[in-house]
Structures are given as C-alpha cells and as structure tokens.
Amino acid sequence: MHLPQQILQRAKDASVRIVLPEGHDSRIVEAAILATKEGLAKITLLGDRKEILALANRKGLSTKNIEVIDPTISPVSKKYTEFLISNRSKGRLSVEKAVQQVSEPLVYANCMVANGDADGCVAGATISTAHIIRHAIRIVGQHPDYPVISSFFLMLFEPTGLGIEGPVLFADCGLVVDPNAKELAAIAAATAHNAELLLNAPAVVAMLSFSTLGSARHPMVTKVQEATKLLTHEYPELITRGEIQLDAAILPEVFSSKGGVKDEHVRPNVFIFPNLDSGNIAYKLAERTAGATAIGPILQGINKPINDLSRGCTTNDIVQNIAVTACQANGFRGVLVPT
C-alpha cells in the first residue's frame, strides 16, 4: 500500500534535505533517485562516488540532482571533527580518533544533521538499530523533554468498515521493552505529536490495556492508568482514552458496554501499547492477517529526525521512510508542549 497523498504532499512541500549514509547499497541509491524524482526531499548520498555512480548505472538510473559526498575526502570533515571534539566528546576524544570517526558515513551524516547541513537522516539497511541510536544520542542529542527514546510505526489500513481504518500510529512496537508509567506517557506524547505532523489532524490517543476503565486490577493495568493520568495532566488538550481495551477503543458500542459514554467515543489514530511484547505482536498481526502496511520503526526523542530501516527493507520501504522523515523535519519541535 502506498503512503496517503496528504503525507507525500507534506513531504514535497517541506523541501528538506535528507542524508542517506549507506550509499554502497543499491537499494539506498535507487530509493534516493526515486525520492528525488518524486520531489519528496533533497537527497545527499554518502560513500565512494565511483561506487555510487556504478550502482546507479547498473540500474540504468541517473544521480542527477543528488548530492554525493565522500566523507573520507570532504572539505567539511574538518568542521565536523572540531564539532565532535568540542561538543560531543566530553574531552575524551583525540583529534586522530575524531578524524577517523568523521570519515565513517553514519557519523558524518549525524554531524550534518546536528550542524543543520541536513534536516534528517535515514539509515539501517546495513547498520544495526543500536548503532544508529548510539550515534544519534551522542551527536545529535536526546531531547531534554524525553525520558526515553522510542519508536512508532505508521500503519496503513484498508478502509473495510470493520475496525481500524486509514493511517494510524502504533507505539512502541520496536524499541522500549517495558516502559514505566512516566516513559509510557512520554511515548504517547511523542507519538501524538508525530501523528499531528503526519496526519494533519488532532491526535486521539488510546492507552491500551487488557482492562477498560478499571475493569481489572493488576500492576500492568495500574501502570497504564498512571501513564494516562500523567499524559492528561501534562497535555490536557489531547483527546486521550485509557486505560482501554482495543475493541473498546475502536468500537463505540463496545466502549459504551464497558462503562464509556457512547456519544463521547472518538476513533483513535494513536495506539499506545503497554510493552514491546504487545506492540510488536500487534503490528505484525496487522501486517500478516489484515494486510496493513507498516512503515518504520520511526524514531522519536532525538533532537532532530534520525530514522531507522529494517535490514530487510525494500527500495519502496526506504522511499516511504524518506517521506515520513521529511514531514517530521518540516514541523519538528521535539514533543508536544506541556501546559
């Protein structure tokens, strides 16, 4: 399933620069060319120029209008070396080590974003998530309002009239194993913020549990209840439902049967899962049995958009991630502002 036109158009209107540090991978090169052709972003590819051109030529494609930078010979590397030493090393990084690190495409890409030379980064086709997050925190920095870096999936459902429809966000399905109440509230706030950036609509948050409005007692339920209270206290403008079971969240008749007021039911576009077990199972179940498309994981909690890819990603997956990253970069302010 393709991204909704509204998201593609928001990416095009953003006119931001996205850096792709894995220029040695043919999927990345092809995605860069397609994203440029579609006008989704201005693209910078990092890597050996001859290798990148050769990869494009084998596909019969042109890298026209794509910036190609080899970090090992870039004249900007000196600026980034000084940046690492003065801003991100806490005095423990030698000049020689900094020079070596800046020659690595992923480090160079993060330095571009941190210095405003790119608006976002997409990587992970050949690099582990842990590696991406470690450099993002060290170089671009974790947002001070986030107690945890998390992720979400943009889920695209066909309109069937049976339950969840259209684009919605699931979190956290890929990163935080067992968030506490404070972390869960922060994940919800960050995901709501991204929902508003991507969907151009008010966020409606479902804080999911196996209990609805106190129907069960358990420490896992208590955690979701506490997270919901924190979220509604700090962000009272958000429409939030919780703790709530999935069927009650999406069906007004079930909502009313479990203690809610039917007329107050609003269909959620943000679904927050209590732990990684439930979130990971849910998004894969939606993919494999409901035919939903899952785009992500998209990282949140970093000062600027640094996004991850699955190492099994396709060219189309990368193009979609570029579009989402462009939307984030255009309206990126970190998190919703607490009252």
CATH number where 220 lies: 3.40.50.10750
Residue 42 sits in the same domain as residue 155: no
Are 181 and 228 in the same domain?
yes
Q: Which string of b and e fits 8-33 if b means at least 16 CB within 10 Å?
A: bbbbeebebbbbbbbbbbbbbbbbbb
Question: Which token pair is 184?
Answer: 């869960």
Provide the pLDDT for residue 150. 95
Residues 241 and 309 in one domain: no
Is 11 in the same domain as 138? Answer: yes
> Which pLDDT score is estimated for 103?
95
pLDDT in tens, 170-198: 999 989 999 999 999 999 999 999 999 89
* 217: confidence class by pLDDT, cuts 50, 70, 90: confident
The pLDDT-based confidence of 338 (bands split at 50, 70, 90) is very low
**pLDDT over threshold 70, residue 46:** yes
Q: How many domains does the chain have?
A: 2
**Rounded CA gap, 321 and 120, in Å?**
11
Q: What is the pLDDT of residues 272-285, one digit of tens each?
A: 999 999 999 999 99
Is 154 in the same domain as 287?
yes
Provide the pLDDT for residue 88. 60
The number of beta carbons lying within 10 Å of the beta carbon of residue 54 is 12
For 185-241, the DSSP string reads HHHHHHHHHHHHHHHSS--EEEEE-SSSTTSS--HHHHHHHHHHHHHHHH-TTSEEE
| Residue 205 structural domain | 150-293
Our measurement of the distance from residue 142's CA atom to the centroid of its chain's CA atoms, rounded to an integer in Å, reads 14
Query: Between these two residues, 227 and 64, which has the higher pLDDT value?
Result: 227
pLDDT tens digits along 133-143: 999 999 999 98
Measuring CA to CA, how many Å separate 320 from each of 24, 145, 280, 298?
20, 27, 20, 11
What are the structure tokens assigned to 328, written together? 């984030």
Question: CATH no. for residue 93?
Answer: 3.40.50.10950
Phi, psi values for residue 131, rounded to 5°: -65, -45
